[in-house]
Structure formats: structure tokens, C-alpha cells
Structure 1
Amino acid sequence: FWLKVQTFPKRSFNIVSDTMVAGRVLVSLVVGLTISSHEAIQVRTAVNPIRRVVNLLQEMAQKVTEEGVTEKALYERFECYCKTSGEDLQKNIEEGSSSITETGTNIEASQGTIVQLKSELAQAQQSRTEAKAAAATALALDKKARAAFEGQSSDLLAN
């Protein structure tokens, strides 16, 4: 064994020498235990490489399992999002389709109103033109009548 203790025959019962011997034995024992525990740790980790591989595989399997749980939770959240957003999108599509048909009917009604207003505008412009012509004719007749009146009035006043 690596730890050898030398024992000397005791010649006298000297307290100092006995204490020194006991101290040496104690120091040797502590050093030996420290070295042996360090070697035991090295032996335990270095002796079995297969065990290290198995431990590594077990750790990897545990990580994969944990990642699988988180991935499952994320997938479920995404699936829920897809379902709810799909329903919302379908609702928006239906509302958009109905608003398209409403807008189409509104456009047709507006086009009908435009045609009606254009015809009314044309009639109003024609009536305005006729009214201007009638006013011009009336003004011309009024001027003739006034000239005739003034002519008669001046003749009557002169007599």
C-alpha cells in the first residue's frame, strides 16, 4: 500500500517525541486520504467511458423530452390562434362580400340618379334658354310699346 508508517521502538516516554510521531502519522493519514479520494474521483469518472456515453444520452433524452413539452405547448397555442383567426377571417370575408353587393347596388342606384339628374339638368337648361328668349322678346315688345307710347304722348302734349 502507498502509505507506510514507520514505527520506531520507543526508548523513552518523551511527550514531545510521541506528539511529533502522532502528528506525523496524522499528517500522513490526511494526505493519504486526500490523495485517495482524488484518485477515487478520477477513477470513477475515467474508468467507465460507456457510462459517460449512457449519461450523455440520458441527458440528451431529457432535454429532448423537455423541448417536446415546450414545442407541444407552442403548437397548441399556434393551433388555437389559427382556429380563432380563421374564424375571424371567414367572418371578415363574409362581411366584405355583403358590403361588395351593397356597394354594387348603391353604385347602380347612383348611376340611375345620375341619369335622372342629367335629364333634369338638360330640361332646366332648355327651360332657361326658352325663358331668356321669351324675356328678350318681351323686352323688345316693351321697347316698341314704350316708343309708341312716347310718340303718342309727345303728340298729345304738343296739341
Structure 2
Amino acid sequence: MIQRIQTVYLLLVTGLLIAAMCMPLGYFTGADAVQYTLMPAGVSANNMFQSTWGILCILILSSIISFLTIFLYKNRMLQIRMTVFCSVLLVGFYLAFLAFMFMLKSDLEATFRISWALSFPLIAIILNYLALRAIGRDEVMVKAADRLR
């Protein structure tokens, strides 16, 4: 299981998504030069907390799916489907992020500056694609071996 390259890719995806949950995704700078940090759980503004629970839920669900996909090595077709589903969830993460960013930007009347941690889900999508190709190669190799028997 650990000797397969897709396992390494999926572990890296899990690590990147967990890191993205813990790091700020961007910063809002208000008109009065007050800086608010946008975390996946929400943003604190003027003694009130505005939740962005959708972003956090997508990151948690994607990291759990990518970790559990590692253990589906006996059922490669399901592993492929789960990897594609995780990538679709990460595209949904960016859509949800844009929705929350524009909503909070108008509520706070502030400008927005992105953080480098926002690239982690994009890197995870690329690693999911590489894992998908490696799983597909394994499936082709197993089918070829079955044909020879």
C-alpha cells in the first residue's frame, strides 16, 4: 500500500488540506486601516464573528476523503471515483471561497489580499490528478495480467 506512488500523492493531498485549514486564506483591510484575517472557519470583525463554515466543511470533507481513499487500494475503480470526487469538492471550495469573499468584502467595506495558503487546494487538485493517473496505470496493469492467465 505505502509503496505505491498514488499513496504518497494522496497523503500529500491530505497534508496540504489540513495545512490549509489551519492557515489564513486572506486578509481584509478596512477603510480605517484595520486588518481582518479570513480563516477557513470565519473572520472576526468588530467584536463579532462572521462564520465561513462552508469553506471549512469542504476542506474537512476533502481531507477525510483523500485519506480514506488510500485504503481503497483493493478496489481501484472506487478509488478513482473518490479521487475525482475530492477534486470536484476542491473546485467547489474555490467557488465557495469566492462567494464568501465577495460577501464579506461588501459587508466589511474593505479590500481583500489573498494569502499563499490559498494555493494549497490547487496543488491538491494537481496531486489528485497525478494519483488518478497512477491508479489508472495500476488498473491497466492488473487487467493485462488477468488477460494473460
Tell whether the structures are fold-level matches, with TM greater than 0.5.
no
Higher strand proportion = 2
**Scaled by the length of structure 2, what TM-score is found?**
0.29
Greater relative contact order (CA < 8 Å, ≥ 6 in sequence) = 2
Greater share of residues in helix: 1
